[in-house]
Structure 1
Amino acid sequence: MPICTKCTTGAPYVYTTYESEHNLRLEECRNCKTNVDPFVEADHLTLFIDLILLKRGVSRHLLFNRGSEPRRLGGELKKPLKPVQVARERRLKRWWLLLKLGTGLILLDAYIRWCYLDPNPSSEPIIWTAPVVKRFLLILVGTATEVLAFHIGISFLTFIALKLLDGYRLWRYGNAELSDTRKEFTLSLVPLSLFYSSLTKYFLLFLLTIWPPAKSSPSDQQSTPTWPQIYFPDSAMIHQVFHTLDDRNLDKDWVVRNIMGGMSAGFGLRIVLDDLHPFFTTLVILLGWGIKATVSNAVSDKIGLATQTAWRAYSIP
């Protein structure tokens, strides 16, 4: 059953079609009196931009509502499928989408890590010799192993957390009444939500791979005054802030992968687990990081001695 992208109330249909598939009317939510899912009419570029901006509505649309059958009025009526058939078909489509999305993002992550671990001068073309291909495949296998460990660990911890929550409700209130999002929950939604939310991190990392931060030598920094030194010559606090944010002192790649990656992973899990308190969602993410860090330590031993530290630094999702 679809849900409202604003208040997560269940709805029988997202939209109604009339004589043709393009002649449609969005359904109204019975709770908040707004359109159940306005993202039905959005194009792929709009959905991608909203995903990068971490908007809850578009995540709920992609996770719970995409592929749901509309109400059909007028025109040639199709024989409706049984609810069991609809649920089975949606599960298969979700797993197939998860496989395609996961494969693409793992390849992108492996390429980004390969660029950091084996940097190539921008003026020189990449020559895919046998050692280079072997090195990339090694990084690809290590990246896939870490991602699988993280997603399997998060899914298992989520399953345990939800079972404990259901047991507490049954003990505390005498019943285990579920919310609409909880009724539609399946384990495939957990890795799918994490992949969707990680698009923000991968997008920024990909931009940093194409346009890396400019590195300046200490002599250039001493000879050329910065604009805080020009406009705020007597403010030591402003100088200290901009000194900390300087490219030579702040690793923007590490910040995007760790800080932005952690925030986006927690955001994605909160979309699926509305019933859980944010503390438990954060705890699940932290425990998942612990599992991935353990696997990362084992993987880094196979990558090479020269890059073990760098591999561990960029292993957090």
Structure 2
Amino acid sequence: MPVCTNCAYPADHVYTTYKTKSNIRLGVCPRCDQFLDPLIEHPDLIILLDLILLKPRVFLHLLFNRGSPPFDADKGVEIAKPQRQAIRRQKLYKDAWTMGSISILAESIVRFLPTVTSLNEVSVSQIIVTCSCVLLETIAQHVITSYLALLALRIRAWYPAGNDRVVPVDKRDGRRENFLPILISLTLLYTSLIPLLLQLVLSIWYTPPPSIHEHLPATASDISLLSTLPIKFPVELLELEAALHHAWSRSDRIWIGTRLLGGMSAGFGLRVLLPTKPWETTAIVLAGWMGAALIAQWLQLDRA
């Protein structure tokens, strides 16, 4: 069942068709008196812009309403609820496969950029190994994130929703009534594409380093911020500042920026989908990242 993109109230149909598919009427939410989903009439470019701007309505549209069958006023025949749920479940898994393939391909291209720009030959075995590593890291991130998110929902008794609890009509939550675990992975995939595409676009003006992390020569004229203050700091603190400055100067800032953007986007998307608190969502996203990083480190040690 679709939901209202304004208040997440569940609905039977987002819009109704008359005679032709172009003659439609948007449904109105009985709780907030707004159109259930105005994005149904918007082109894909507007939806992409809303996704870049992280508007909450676009997540509800993509996860719950996109592709939902309308009500045909001429035939007057409504598709049964089990059949609609089966159609929706099939479409969600298809979208997950499509978005996952695009995400893995984009991440693999980002990792191959340094090799291509350095005019080194890329063998088929390198392509297979890199794509396999990206696939394993993605699986680890999604499994850990989904498991922790489902655990948090179970602790809250939010999912699976119990049938013995009577919810008032004005308190119904379409996200809970139509929730599926695959929606967590889909949210991560939708929010991961924007940083990857941004990194691919920036690579036009930016010469990638020979690895995923940039190594720039440290300059001797680096000025310590703490040493300029009229306060005497311990030597250990000054050494820590120098180490952090050295690590920052030798890091790939575009990679860090895009990954930070991806983390914030994933957290925001999960906040729209799930009823978790901000610190819970942050912990879930960070745990998924750490799992993917550990898998990447293990694969590097295994190849070494």
Partner SS for 1:300: helix
Q: Tell me, yes or no, if structure 1 residue 258 matches structure 2 residue 255.
A: no
* Secondary structure of 1:185 counterpart: coil
| 1:16 aligned counterpart, secondary structure | strand
Please state how far the C-alpha of 1:186 moved relative to its aligned partner: 0.3
Give how far 1:110 is off: 0.8
Give the equivalent residue in structure 2 for 1:268.
269
Is 2:43 aligned against 1:43? Answer: yes
Q: 1:179 aligns with which of 163, 173, 186?
A: 173
**Quick one: distance in 1 between partners of 2:85 and 2:16?**
20
What is the aligned residue count?
263
Q: Which residue of 2 aligns with 1:296?
A: 296
Within the candidate set 143, 146, 168, 2:134 is matched to 143
What SS does the aligned partner of 1:6 have?
coil
Equivalent residue of 1:268, what SS? helix
CA contact (8 A) 2:191 2:266 kept: yes
1:1-317 equivalences under 5 Å are 1-74=1-74, 77=75, 79-116=77-114, 118-121=115-118, 128=122, 132-166=123-157, 177=167, 179-212=173-206, 251-273=252-274, 275-304=275-304
User: Is 1:28–1:34's contact at 8 Å kept on the other side of the alignment?
Assistant: yes
Residues 166 and 176 of structure 1 are in contact (CA less than 8 Å); yes or no, is this contact kept in structure 2?
Answer: no
Q: Which residue identity does 1:259 align to in structure 2?
A: L
Amino acid at match of 2:287: L
SS at match of 2:16: strand
Measure how far apart 1:175 and its partner are: 5.1
1: CA distance between counterparts of 2:250 and 2:137? 28
Cα distance in 2 for residues equivalent to 1:180 and 1:86: 15
Structure 1: how far apart are the matches of 2:137 and 2:178? 28
Could you tell me how far apart the structure 2 residues matched to 1:281 and 1:8 are? Answer: 19
Offset of residue 286 of structure 1: 1.8
CA shift at 1:167, angstroms? Answer: 7.8
**Conserved? CA contact 1:37–1:61, under 8 Å:** yes
The one-letter code matched in structure 2 to 1:85 is Q
Aligned-pair CA distance for 1:303:
4.9
Q: Is the 8 A contact 1:54 1:200 kept in 2?
A: no
Using a 3 Å threshold, how does the CA distance of structure 1 residues 32 and 80 change in structure 2: closer, same or farther? closer
Give the aligned CA root-mean-square deviation in angstroms. 2.9
Structure 1 length as normaliser, TM-score?
0.75
Measure the CA separation in 1 of the matches of 2:270 and 2:278: 10
TM-score by length of 2: 0.78
Q: Contact 2:7 / 2:32 at 8 angstroms: preserved in 1?
A: yes
TM-aligned CA distance change 1:250 to 1:14, over 3 Å: same
Once the two structures are TM-superposed, the CA of residue 200 in structure 1 deviates from its matched residue by 1.6
The residue identity in structure 2 corresponding to 1:44 is D
Shift in Å, 1:153: 1.0
Provide Cα deviations, 1:117-146, integer angstroms capped at 9, x if missing partner: x3524xx5x755xxx222122111101100
The letter for the 2-side match of 1:2 is P
Alignment identity in percent? 33
Three-state SS of the structure 1 residue aligned to 2:199 is helix
Cα distance between partner residues in 1 of 2:23 and 2:289:
47
Residue 255 of structure 1: CA displacement? 2.5
1:92 deviation in Å? 1.1
State the partner residue of 1:309.
none
Pick closer, same or farther for the CA change 1:175–1:59 going to 2, 3 Å. same
Q: Within 2, Cα distance between the matches of 1:88 and 1:292?
A: 32
SS in structure 2 at match of 1:166: coil
**Equivalent residues of 1:205, 1:256 under 8 A apart:** no
Q: Is the 8 A contact 2:72 2:78 kept in 1?
A: no
